[in-house]
Chain A
Amino acid sequence: MNISDVIYPVVSLGGLGLLFGGGLAFASQKFAVKVDPLILQVNDALPGVNCGACGYPGCSSFAKAVVEEVAAVDGCPVGGKSTAEEVAKVMGVEVSVGERQVAKVICNADNKKAKEDFDYQGIVDCKAASKFNGGSKSCNYGCLGLATCVRECPVDAIHITNNKIAKVDPDLCISCEKCVKVCPKNVIDMVPESQEVVITCKNEEKGKIARQKCDVACIGCQICVKSCPFDAIDFENNLAFIDYDKCTNCHVCVEKCPTHAIEGDINNRKKAEILQNKCIKCNICAKACPVDAIEGEVKEKHLVHQDQCIGCSVCAEKCPKDAIEMKKRK
């Protein structure tokens, strides 16, 4: 074997590699573009999904806008609280952000529950269908289920069920609000992630008409408004709506609603439980309970009647010793 058989390839490949490497190193110095280091830091703090939900064409342009103080530090709806805090830290400002919001389809009327006015055979797209007499669904406020939002969603968090209605997977939702904007029926809302009780109807027609069109419509009976222990439900335009700040997810309205227009799984209702070793028997919880589910006088043993407790957490918040735990029923 000739020694040059080894030397030539090694030298030529190594030489070229060195040449290119050196060239690139030189070029990176020579052609370096000065970028504000703050922009890079802000960019690192962002999720990097480039979804455009902030209104800028990508994370890096949003970062630039933040550094130029054009955009707000909490302007990224996807990253939510943690991202806003990190960006604020880089920018040296304070920020307070609420809970993560997820998209929710405010309609439960699938093709078994709501009537169809006619057989729509046009382009499979909600926008196209809604131009045609408001779509085939008899209720003009409902989800058409033709997947315009599914196509818009950048993370595949929305799908159409077998019964032709859109459902959002809250775990996958990145709060970009693209579906909210694209929906021609305005039937998608942003709802706090922990909110379990949601009124899933947008029909503003009179109760009688709404009931004829759909089995699960809000018929404006206002039973929920009256039954809510926390005055969290208001009524306007023949439609009830929940004030999520006041709502404690107690599920009372879910039980009462005659048309099941309020979504919420009663099995997810939490139950208060008193930790006897921490309890000082002060009776504050019993007084605070809106449904009198806590038994016991001052200096006596306190007990929660599990069948009466509606899981509103008021007692847990009032307890001075953190002696009440909210547990999910198994």
Chain B
Amino acid sequence: MLDLSVSSLFAILVSAILVNNFVLSRFLGICPFLGVSKQVETAFGMGMAVTFVMSLASIITFVVQNYILDPLGLQYMQTIMFILVIASLVQFVEMVIQKTSPALYQSLGVFLPLITTNCAVLGLTILNIQENYNIVETIVHAIGAAVGFSLAIVLFAAIREKLEIANVPQPFKGFPIALLTAGLMSLAFLGFSGLV
């Protein structure tokens, strides 16, 4: 039956947030990481949207994998199936939010379509299957990954806000210095390896 030992779940959570941070260690979801990180506020909105989608997508892909793909021996269809699931899910979520909570839609709305084909979400769902996680572990891993993503993008946005007014040499202005910063952040997160 389900293995619910708290310590192993905690290990999965910490590992997903810090050690194997999706952006800074696995290099997934770089597009929104660089694209939506000019302001802390929008970065936070993006982080929340990703958290939402990652949690839901993990649960549904888990069901799809275990009750459709595995029994029929269709593991090779995994990628296309998961993309289908995630894309429709995001669309559905967007509609529901628009109807039920216009305020939340205002803050999340613009980011949701961006996540439709985000590789971090697809990567997460495939990793869940590869690691043979059960449903509880899957959810914990998804939350960890999403928190890790949010953490990275909010930190990065905060640094970029400071960089805006810093005296950066002309050739490094704008994206070059942002990419360097991302690299240095990645190095810093490398320090967490061996933690779990």
Contact = CB atoms under 8 A, between A and B. Distances in A.
Given A33-B98, A124-B167, A125-B165, A12 B68 contact: yes
Contacts of A20: 84-85, 88
Contacts of A9: 72, 74, 77
A23 interface: yes
Task: Classify the secondary structure of B's interface with A.
Answer: helix
Interface residues of B, number: 23
B170 to A, nearest CB: 10
Given A13-B80, A16-B85, A24 B91 contact: yes
A8 B72 contact: yes
A12 B98 contact: no
Contacts of B72: 8-9, 12
A12 B96 contact: no
A8 B81 CA distance: 13
Interface string B75-96: 0010011001100100110011
A27 B92 contact: yes
Interface string A16-51: 110011011001100111000000000000000000
Contacts of B163: none
Contacts of A13: 77, 80-81, 84
Classify chain A: how many residues form its interface, as a range.
10 to 19
B161 interface: no
Q: Which of A20, A23, A28 has the most CB of B within 10 A?
A: A20
B126 to A, nearest CB: 17
Interface string A103-125: 00000000000000000000111
Contact of A31 (B74, B80, B84, B99): B99
A117 to B, nearest CB: 21
Contact of B95 (A8, A16, A28, A123): A28
A11 to B, nearest CB: 9
B84 A17 contact: yes
B40 interface: no
A151 interface: yes
Given A9-B77, A16-B81, A151-B164, A31 B96 contact: yes
B129 interface: no
B74 A12 contact: yes
B88 A24 contact: yes
Interface string B46-74: 00000000000000000010001100111
Contacts of A23: 88, 92
Contacts of A24: 88, 91-92, 95
Interface string A121-133: 0011100000000
Contacts of A28: 95
Contacts of A12: 68-69, 72, 74, 77, 81
A98 B18 CA distance: 58
A13 B82 CA distance: 10
A7 B80 CA distance: 16
A8 B74 contact: yes
Contacts of A32: 99
B64 A27 contact: no
B14 to A, nearest CB: 34
A151 B95 CA distance: 35
Contacts of B96: 27, 31
A32 B100 CA distance: 10
Nearest to A61: B106
Contact of A16 (B64, B100, B164, B165): B64
A20 B61 CA distance: 13
Given A12-B74, A151-B164, A31 B98 contact: yes
B64 A31 contact: no
B76 to A, nearest CB: 8
Nearest to A29: B95
Given A13-B77, A27-B92, A33 B99 contact: yes
Interface string B96-115: 10111010000000000000
A20 B91 CA distance: 10
Interface of A: 8-9, 12-13, 16-17, 20-21, 23-24, 27-28, 31-33, 123-125, 151
Given A16-B64, A27-B92, 16 more contacts: A8-B72, A8-B73, A12-B68, A12-B77, A12-B81, A13-B77, A13-B81, A16-B68, A16-B84, A17-B84, A20-B84, A24-B95, A31-B95, A31-B99, A33-B102, A151-B164
6 closest residue pairs by CB, A with B: A20-B88, A31-B99, A31-B95, A8-B72, A27-B95, A33-B98
